[in-house]
Amino acid sequence: MTVSIADPAKITIRPLHYRDFEAVDALQAANLENFKGFLTRERELSKGRSWQNIRKFLSLIPSPYGKGLRIYVAEQEQQIIGLIQVSPFNNTRSTWRIERVLLNPDAVQIELLTGQKTVGSQLVRHCLGTIWEARTWILEANVNDKTHLALYRENGFQPIAQMTYWAIAPELLDQLAEQEPELPNLLPVSNADAQLLYQLDCISMPPLLRQVFDRHVRDFKTNLLQTTAAKLKQWLEQSSIVSGYVFEPQRKAAIAYFKLELCKNGSRPHRAELTVNPAYTWLYPQLIAQMAQVVQEFPAQSLELASADYQSEREEYLEQIGASRLEHTLLMSRSVWHKIKETKPLEGLQLSEVLQGLKPARTPVPSRISWLKSVSQPYQPNIKNQDKYPGIESPSSEDQKSSDSSQHPDNGHHA
């Protein structure tokens, strides 16, 4: 089968329409077969049409994050050959995340042969140029996904952290649940604790990631609309959310936080988010035991959680208890500086317009110096006349000569 090389000039980038769902399903199925070994990508793509139905349903609900979700497709000759999905990462929408980039496998092979990333680059650059409120972009890619890594590096993304995904088997969770965790100050999460969770989030990551994520206190609060949308999503996905944090009463600070996304029907693994203050890493066994006890109330499934390369104590503990590594990914980012056009070009700016603001607004008030100058003006012509006619002597010239002769008596004899 002969495949012609796509012409980049004929590729059209446009938002996703409802009539594109069947083509997107075929594109997802092709990528699922092509990246069967990448667990994160497989989890994302195995949902099939469900994520589209959820998005269609949630699009009817007014939500700040629902408005931010954007999906663009690359179309050529009325055929979809690529897709990109992006969404805001924080509440201020200064950081955006590329959630997925799907490319036609035939187009990927062509790009590898020609050394070009035409379709993927156009999709990425379209988002970089269209979403002006984004100052920083982040994404996550598998370390073995050479195609997407080359695409992201070509468009200016650089790695900032290496992530490792772990899985704790159900049998191991049963053993960990037998331990009684010592967490006397474990409290539920509410909007009143947003400031404490924000401080914990800042102290638990390096300064570079803190700057890239650009989170604020509002990112740890939820309003009524967001809570309603989250409840509807949990009902559609048959999931449940359990969260809590550990409070340190002496310093009045949150020192640990966990969030569990539990599957009620046992169709997929449970997922956990864990944040611990670097000075309280001894809480890892206590928090894992607490999560293991919560998981016992739901169908038996493995528990998945992530660790970064700057969290060495967490990785050591997970290896110690026998957790298995699932996948290694790279967290990448790039900054965007948009060029702002001048409202008035400098070439058309006249010099008179520049000096207009330097002109006095009213007549200056005479000062003492100007009065002295006006008084001394009558004496200035006499001085000028003396300089002009050197032969005319002043009345005191005779006295000056007599004084000079008295001081030098020998001047007349030598003359």
User: Using CA atoms, how far apart are residues 9 and 233, in angstroms rounded to an integer?
Assistant: 40
78, 366 in Cβ contact below 8 A? no
Q: Give the start-end residues of each E strand in 57-119.
A: 70-76, 79-88, 95-103
Cα of 406 vs its chain's centroid, Å: 95
Q: What is the dihedral of CA 124, 130, 135, 141, to 10 degrees?
A: -20
pLDDT reported for residue 3: 42
Phi, psi of 292 (to 5 degrees): -65, -35
CATH classification of 1-156, choosing from 1.10.3760.10, 3.90.1300.10, 3.30.70.20, 3.40.630.30? 3.40.630.30
Question: Domain spans of the chain?
Answer: 1-156, 157-336
pLDDT reported for residue 369: 61
Instruction: Give DSSP secondary structure letters for 332-351.
Output: EEEE--PPPPPSS-GGG--H
243-249-255 Cα angle (round to 5): 45
Domains 1-156 and 157-336 share a fold: yes
User: Using CA atoms, how far apart are residues 19 and 175, in angstroms rounded to an integer?
Assistant: 50
pLDDT reported for residue 352: 63
Per-residue pLDDT of the chain (415 residues; tens, 9 = 90+): 444 444 444 788 999 888 888 888 888 877 776 665 556 655 555 554 444 554 554 444 444 444 578 999 998 888 888 999 999 999 999 999 999 898 887 655 555 444 445 789 999 999 999 999 999 999 999 999 898 999 999 999 999 999 999 999 999 999 999 999 989 899 999 999 999 999 999 999 999 999 999 999 999 999 888 888 888 888 888 899 999 999 999 999 999 999 999 999 888 999 999 999 999 999 999 999 999 999 999 999 999 999 999 999 999 999 999 999 999 999 999 998 766 555 555 555 566 665 666 666 666 666 666 555 665 665 555 544 555 445 544 454 444 444 454 444 454 444 3
Is the CATH number of domain 157-336 3.40.50.150?
no
pLDDT reported for residue 105: 74
pLDDT reported for residue 18: 82
Place of tokens 């005191």: 396
pLDDT reported for residue 69: 85
